[in-house]
Structure formats: C-alpha cells, structure tokens
Amino acid sequence: MVQKILARGRKILFSPQSTVLSAATIIMLMVVASRILGLIRQRTLAHFFAPDELSLFFAAFRLPDLVFEVLVFGTFSSAFIPVFAKALRNGRREAWEIAGTVTNLGLVIFAFLATLVIVFAGNFYGLFAPGFSPEHREQIVSITRILFAAQGFFVVSYVLTAVLESSRRFLVPALAPLFYNLGIIFGTVLLAPRMGLLGPTIGVVIGASLHFLVQLPLAVKLGFRFSPKIRITEFVRKIGRLALPRIVEVSFLQVSKTVELFLASLISTASYTYFTFGNTLQLLPVGLFGTSIAKAALPTLARQTEKLDEFRKTLFGALNQIVFLVLPIATVLIVLRIPLVRLIFGTDIFSWEATVQTSMVVSAFAFGVVFQSAVALLSRGFYALHDTKTPVIISISTIILVIAADFILIKGFGLPAWGLAAAFSMGSLIQATILFFFINKKTGDGNWFSLVSPIFKSALASLASGSVMYLLLKVFDRSVWIKRLSFLGRFEATQGIDFEGFVLDTRYTFNLLILTAFVIAVGMIIYLFVSIILKSKEVWYFFNLVTRIFVKRRLTPIPAKESEPIAPPPTESSST
C-alpha cells in the first residue's frame, strides 16, 4: 500500500502534462495555494508591523527586483523556453549544455550587477524614494543588501523552472512559490519579535533557497547538470537575440515600478504599503487564471506555429476562458473591496484609514485585471511565433503612457495611492487591446464579432452579478442602515423598516465573513446562470473542469492518440 502511494505520488510529481487544460489546472491549483499563502504572508507582516514600517521592507525589494527581473525574468519569459524546447527535440545533450551555459552566464552577470548596486544602494534610494527620511533610507539599504542573496538563488531557480516547464512538468515549478512564502512566514513569526524587519528579510533568503531546492531533484532527474563551462552556441545566441527586446521591455517596466515607489514615498510613508497590499489582492486572479493558462498554453502554441488555424483556436479559446474566469473575480474585488481588505489585512495596528486607502487601490487595480491577464496570454502568443519585437514595442509605448499618467494623477491632481493603480489599469487596457488587434491580424485576421462575442457575454454576466452583489451587501450590512451610507437612505419607504431583524453587525469579524461569503456565493451563481442564458461555451468548459477535479477526482489524461513529443531521459523508468 505504501509503495503504491509513493509510486502514485512520483507519477503526479514527475509525469508531464499533455494538454493546455490539464497543465493549466495543475498550475491553477498551485497558484491558488501560493496566493493564499501570499495573503497569509502579508497578513502576518501586517500583524507584526504597521504600514509605515512595512513600506520600508517593501521598498527594499525595488533594487534587487530591478536587477533580477531585467536579467532573469526578461530572458526566461520570452526566449529560453521556446529555444530550449526546440533543442530538446533536436538532441538532449545540447539542450542541457544550453541550460548550463545560461545558468553560468546569469550568475556571472548577476554577481557583477549586484555588487555594483549594493555599493551604491544609498545613492540609488536617495533618488528613488525621496519622500523617506534619511534614517528610513538607511534601514532600507541594509535590508536591500541581504535581499540580494535571495535573488542569487532565484537566478538558478528560474533556470530550473524554465527547464521543467519546457519539459511540460508544471507541478513542481508551481510548488516552488509555496515554499518561498512559507520561508517568509516562518521567518517573520519566529524572528520578527526579536529582530524587527530583519526577521522577514532572513525569511526571504530562506524561502528563496527552498524555491531552488524543491525544483533541483526533478531537474537533475531530467538531465540538468551544473558545469563550470560557458559554451556560446547558436542556440545561446538565439536566446540572446530573442531576449533582448524583452529585456528592454522589462527595463522600462522596472522604471515604471520605480516611479511608483518615487511617487508613493512623496504621498506618505505608508502609501507604498497600501499600494503593495492592493497589488497583492489583484494579483490573485491574474496569477490564478491569466498567468497560469498563459504559461500552460505557451508550449502548445509553440508547437502549432506551422498550423495557424490550430494556433488561433488554442490562443483565442484560452483567451475566452481567461476572460470568463477573471471577470467575476474582478467584480468581487470592486464590489467587496472594503470587506475583503478588512478580513485579510485588518489587524489591530492596521487602521480604518489604512483599510479605506488599500481598498481604493484594490478597486482601481480590479478594473484592469482582465486586461493584465489577457496581456499575459497574448504576449506569449507572439513569443511562440518567435516575434518578441511587436509585444515589446507595444508594451514600452504603454509603459511610457502609464508613467505619464502616474505623474499627472499624483502630482497634477493630488490623488492618493489609488491613482497609481488607476494609471496601471489604464495602461493594461490599452496594451491588451493593441495586442489583440495585431495578433488577430498576424494569424489570419478572423471575424471580429466571433472573437469579441464570448468576451461580451462574460461582461454582461459580470455586470448582472456585480449589481446583485452590491444590492445584497447594502441590504444586509447593519452599518449601512444606521449611517445611511448608500442609496437606501434616500428612500422614505426605508425609514420605517425594522432592519435589526435581518442585518449583520459587520463590526464583528465572523459576521463580516458570513456576509462576504454569502454575497460572493450568490454573485457567482448569478454569473453562471446568466452565462448559461447567454449560451456561453466557456461556462460548460468550466463545469467540465469542476467535474473532473471534484467529482471524478482526476485531471485530463494523456490522450491515447497523442504521442509524447519529449522523450524521457534514459534514467527515467516507465513507472514515473
């Protein structure tokens, strides 16, 4: 029995996922767990530190993230996976040499840039965060220098992630962020009472090392090996050529994020915490459905580039599924912004003002989460076609618009932190629209009505769902009736209603939780019901997915007629 359980566990961990849906399902489940842990992580930080202190911790990530994302994320998101996957089909030995060379190049370049930035960190933060006091900037710099150790682990870890995803092993890479979040949580809980902000900082280093270690065994099993050699082959040069436009794009994106820190520091010390917490909430639907489906679709799209009809079907089918799944969650974030922020971040030291400011950031972000999710997929559609220039040009153009909007909304109109989120959402809308137009034209210029119709149906269903949720929230919240906070107070007929008999006192956490869960449940039922009425195909895909997971308790198996395009390594037995 034990051997069977272990064998089944190995099969789940090590077997490849053969279809976009099965791969995306695994990624989604792990992203749910990771995002929940991410929220627990933020809640833990909010328990130990006030928003003013947390802004210093979050600001300390700016320079390490800048170096890491430009160097690593810019390469692997667009260039490494398509090239490595093609090299695997041509010959495994050269493919693993490519992985080793990219690892070594990444470490050498990272070490040089990290040393440079660490030495001049104080000067950089003087420019990037002028609103913080000199004492605060000194504390930020000390945290930053430790965080670079964590990013060193990530340089190697993301090579392993790319290797595993190229081999269509999505489960283990999806598990890695769980261990990263656990490291931060335990570091905060165990060390923060004695060491202050140094506690979660050490937790970041622990989490990053776990992110690397959990992926290493499977990568080694598949054939990855560390080697001191750097061999510049044509494949490596191609990765560089494909990555260059994406690196330029990521560099502009990092400028935009740095501008966000710059302006947030001028609003107030705590504003960067409000912005970061709001961003954490809005990343849940983007990561859960947008990024997960996009990542799962990339290998399949890369194999269909010679058959554009199949490519379009996969791409726009995945886009419709993303919109269908993300829109209702975005609606929940807009309608239930304050209850959600209170439930997730509402600790004793997280004030009502902090709750209101964070909830406004959440709403502003929520208007753009569908477009962010669409961008994640549409960009990868171009990457699969080995066209990195088009999405990069579009992205850079919209980033420049976002930066301009940031300054206009914050410095010109004097808006608080939610202005930064509003500018970001506006940029996402513009970027997604342009990407949609160009990839449709590039792959055959299909009928616009047939492409937009499923999206329009999902939008109508979301509007109906949001309206019902808003009404329910106002009817059953006691504070609304007492303070006459909504439209209910404008009607004379409501003055004599004995509302105490059916409302919930949301000053208490349990009552707030019950009301929030009830409103969301009704909203989702309305969304699915209206989608059925509108004859949305995506609603049946959703029901089939739920049935496979929760009723049949299995994911989509490898179809009998579909052969495995990536041969298993010699060391891999058939049992795995």
Q: How does pLDDT run across 376-431, given as a tens digit for each residue? A: 999 989 888 888 788 888 999 999 999 999 999 999 999 999 999 999 999 999 99
Distance CA 388, CA 411 (A): 34
| Interval 496-522 mean pLDDT | 75
- 432 shares its domain with 472: no
Distance CA 435, CA 442 (A): 10
| Interval 455-473 mean pLDDT | 93
Spatial contact of 354 and 274, defined as CB atoms under 8 Å apart: yes
Beta bridge partners of 477: 504
| Interval 189-193 mean pLDDT | 95
Residue 216 — φ and ψ, nearest 5°?
-60, -45
- 436 shares its domain with 529: no
How much is the pLDDT for 76?
Answer: 59
pLDDT exceeds cutoff 90 at 375: yes
Distance CA 36, CA 284 (A): 8
Beta-carbon contacts of 508 under 8 Å, excluding residues fewer than 6 positions away, are none
Q: What is the Cα 107 distance to its own chain's centre? A: 25
How much is the pLDDT for 259?
Answer: 96
- 442 shares its domain with 365: yes
- 533 shares its domain with 416: no
How much is the pLDDT for 414?
Answer: 93
- 345 shares its domain with 494: no
336 in a domain, yes or no?
Answer: yes
Residue 430's Cβ-count burial label (10 Å; 0-12, 13-18, 19+) is: middle
117 in a domain, yes or no?
Answer: yes
Q: What would the pLDDT profile of 52-97 be if each residue is shown by its tens digit?
A: 999 999 999 999 988 888 877 666 556 777 788 777 777 677 788 8
Is 496 or 28 the better-scoring residue by pLDDT? 28
> Smallest Cα–Cα separation from 513: which of 562, 476, 555, 482?
476
Tell the residue number behind the tokens 């791409």, with chain if given. 315
How much is the pLDDT for 385?
Answer: 86
Distance CA 97, CA 103 (A): 10
How much is the pLDDT for 5?
Answer: 46
286 in a domain, yes or no?
Answer: yes
Burial track 188-201 (b if 16+ CB lie within 10 A, e otherwise): beebbeeeebbbbb
Which one-letter amino acid corresponds to residue 137? R
- 316 shares its domain with 193: yes
End-to-end CA distance of the chain: 17
% the chain with pLDDT above 90? 45
User: What are the structure tokens assigned to 171, written together?
Assistant: 């489960």
Beta strands in 364-490, from DSSP E residues, in sequence order: none
Radius of gyration of the chain (CA): 24
| Interval 167-177 mean pLDDT | 82
How much is the pLDDT for 555?
Answer: 44
How much is the pLDDT for 551?
Answer: 57
Distance CA 210, CA 216 (A): 10
Which of 446, 478, 493 is a domain's end point?
Answer: 446
pTM to 2 decimal places:
0.82
Distance CA 453, CA 456 (A): 5
Largest CA distance in the chain: 81
Range of the domain at 56: 20-446
Which of 415, 446, 477 is a domain's end point?
Answer: 446
1 in a domain, yes or no?
Answer: no
Distance CA 287, CA 293 (A): 9
14 in a domain, yes or no?
Answer: no
Beta-carbon contacts of 421 under 8 Å, excluding residues fewer than 6 positions away, are 275, 278, 279, 282, 361, 362, 364, 365, 368
Distance CA 402, CA 419 (A): 11
Spatial contact of 279 and 365, defined as CB atoms under 8 Å apart: yes
User: What are the structure tokens assigned to 141, written together?
Assistant: 């710099």
- 87 shares its domain with 48: yes
Any idea how long the chain is?
A: 576
Spatial contact of 366 and 359, defined as CB atoms under 8 Å apart: no
| Interval 187-209 mean pLDDT | 95
Is 503 or 104 the better-scoring residue by pLDDT? 104
Kindly report the number of other CB atoms within 10 A of residue 535's CB atom.
9
**pLDDT band for position 568 (cuts 50, 70, 90):** very low
How much is the pLDDT for 246?
Answer: 74
Greatest mean pLDDT range, 109-113, 387-391, 504-508: 109-113
pLDDT exceeds cutoff 50 at 567: no
Beta-carbon contacts of 40 under 8 Å, excluding residues fewer than 6 positions away, are 181, 185
Beta-carbon contacts of 554 under 8 Å, excluding residues fewer than 6 positions away, are 548
Which one-letter amino acid corresponds to residue 318? A
Helix (H, G, I), strand (E, B) or coil at 504: strand
Distance CA 473, CA 336 (A): 8
How much is the pLDDT for 571?
Answer: 31
Please provide the average confidence, as pLDDT, over all residues in the chain: 82
337 in a domain, yes or no?
Answer: yes
Distance CA 359, CA 336 (A): 9
Q: What would the pLDDT profile of 303-357 be if each residue is shown by its tens digit?
A: 887 788 888 888 888 899 999 999 999 999 999 999 999 999 988 889 889 999 9
Taking CA atoms, 286 is separated from 38, 247, 289, 410, 439, in Å, by: 14, 22, 6, 25, 21
* Number of separate domains in the chain: 2
Is 496 or 262 the better-scoring residue by pLDDT? 262
- 379 shares its domain with 505: no
- 388 shares its domain with 511: no
Taking CA atoms, 231 is separated from 155, 235, 497, in Å, by: 18, 10, 78
- 439 shares its domain with 486: no
Residue 477 — φ and ψ, nearest 5°?
-95, 120
396 in a domain, yes or no?
Answer: yes
pLDDT exceeds cutoff 70 at 176: yes
Which one-letter amino acid corresponds to residue 266? L
> Smallest Cα–Cα separation from 157: which of 105, 216, 203?
216
pLDDT exceeds cutoff 80 at 268: yes
CA dihedral 356, 35, 81, 113 (to 10 degrees): 60
Beta strands in 115-246, from DSSP E residues, in sequence order: none
User: What are the structure tokens assigned to 427, written together?
Assistant: 């940029």
Beta-carbon contacts of 117 under 8 Å, excluding residues fewer than 6 positions away, are 63, 64, 66, 67, 124, 148
Spatial contact of 349 and 46, defined as CB atoms under 8 Å apart: yes
- 366 shares its domain with 481: no
347 in a domain, yes or no?
Answer: yes
How much is the pLDDT for 132?
Answer: 94
- 268 shares its domain with 329: yes
